[in-house]
Amino acid sequence: MALAADTPNSGVTSLGAIDRRVQARRLTVVLALLLAVMSVLSLAWGASGTSLWGALQDLAMGRDLSRLDQIVLFDIRLPRLFLGILVGSALAVSGAVMQGLFRNPLADPGIVGVSAGAGLAAICAIVMGAFLPAMLRDTVGNYLVPIAAFLGGWGSTLILYRVSTRRGQTSVATMLLAGIALGALSGALSGILVYIADDNQLRDLTFWGMGSLAGATWSKVLAASPIIGVALLALPALSRGLNGLALGEAAAGHIGIPVQRVKNIAILIVASATGASVAVSGGIGFIGIVVPHLLRLASGPDHHSLLPNAALLGASLLLAADMISRVIIAPAELPIGIITAVLGAPVFLWILLRRFGSTGL
């Protein structure tokens, strides 16, 4: 059992655990290759006539790229590629961390209200932005909605943390229930704002709510990179703690897991990564809930391999969805959230049916 190998008192590492770790490392290599392939395809595939291969041939033969090719490759597709990798990784890893923290396979950042809080703040910025002082609007410009979404995600996390923490101890069950209530409240307030929005604001709200990487710019990549990068780099510190929490908080404490510290770090990572993702791409569903399930079926629940593999697979799937979204009705572009829902919902149903079949329910 992979979990037993992580605990201080496990003693002997079973052969089954070794097999699963070898399998997980092979899966990591496969997923890294998949991400590399998807990255090349993302650069090469698009609605415009610009060809990556033609551009590479021009560069190899010492010819200068046309201005149009430079714009398409370096100012549109390349920042879109990096933003897709960041957002896909953040959403998938956040889902894996939430499911491990709550010991609930249905948990993801949306269920604790982080995404709903970010969405409500973004809708407020779109609908009420016209009433802000002109100096403030001129200062933040097009970053008003992303900044509001990030602050909204953090604000909802702080409220949850405050509600669910007593005497220095955070109740995961209380946080889960409070998250559901906060999500419902955010949905109701968002509905009021949508009701009073004008036609132009409704169009912005619709496209933002369904998620898209169409607005990817280098400034967005640079804004999201430090937050999501730090969150992803902190993952190794969480793996052992999340494995221990699978036994229950009391048992985890008995084997030396700093339960409260693990919960604090996990909540911090999810709030930061999800808030940054929603801020730059809008609402994109199913990546955070489907990816961890697929990986547990392939290589088991050990978070040492699950978290990095979730980052690789989440990034690859989001790049694939983005490529489909920009060519399926070209030259128009379909919101990426529709693609992830169409692809993710059947996969999730298949996973549920497979689980029910294996347990005889």
pLDDT, one tens digit per residue, over 229-281 is: 888 888 778 888 888 888 877 788 888 888 888 888 887 788 788 878 887 88
Q: What would the mean pLDDT of 173-197 be, rounded to a whole number?
A: 82
Q: What would the mean pLDDT of 297-313 be, rounded to a whole number?
A: 87
Query: Residues 6 or more apart from 159 whose CB is under 8 A from it?
Result: 117, 178, 182
User: What is the share, in percent, of the chain residues with pLDDT greater than 70?
Assistant: 84
Q: What would the mean pLDDT of 26-32 be, rounded to a whole number?
A: 92
User: What is the share, in percent, of the chain residues with pLDDT greater than 90?
Assistant: 11
* Alpha-carbon gap, residue 43 to 196, rounded angstroms: 40
DSSP-assigned letter for residue 49: S
**Looking at the predicted structure, is the pLDDT value of residue 90 above 80?**
yes
pLDDT at 39: 92
Q: Is 169 helix (H, G, I), strand (E, B) or coil?
A: strand
pLDDT, one tens digit per residue, over 337-358 is: 888 888 888 887 887 777 666 6
Q: What band does 313 get if pLDDT is binned at 50, 70 and 90?
A: very high
Who has greater pLDDT, 88 or 169?
88
**Looking at the predicted structure, is the pLDDT value of residue 7 above 60?**
no
DSSP-assigned letter for residue 12: S
pLDDT at 8: 46
pLDDT at 320: 92
Torsional sign, CA 346, 349, 350, 351: positive
* Alpha-carbon gap, residue 360 to 186, rounded angstroms: 38
Q: What band does 34 get if pLDDT is binned at 50, 70 and 90?
A: very high
Who has greater pLDDT, 342 or 313?
313
pLDDT, one tens digit per residue, over 124-160 is: 877 777 676 666 666 666 667 777 777 887 788 778 7
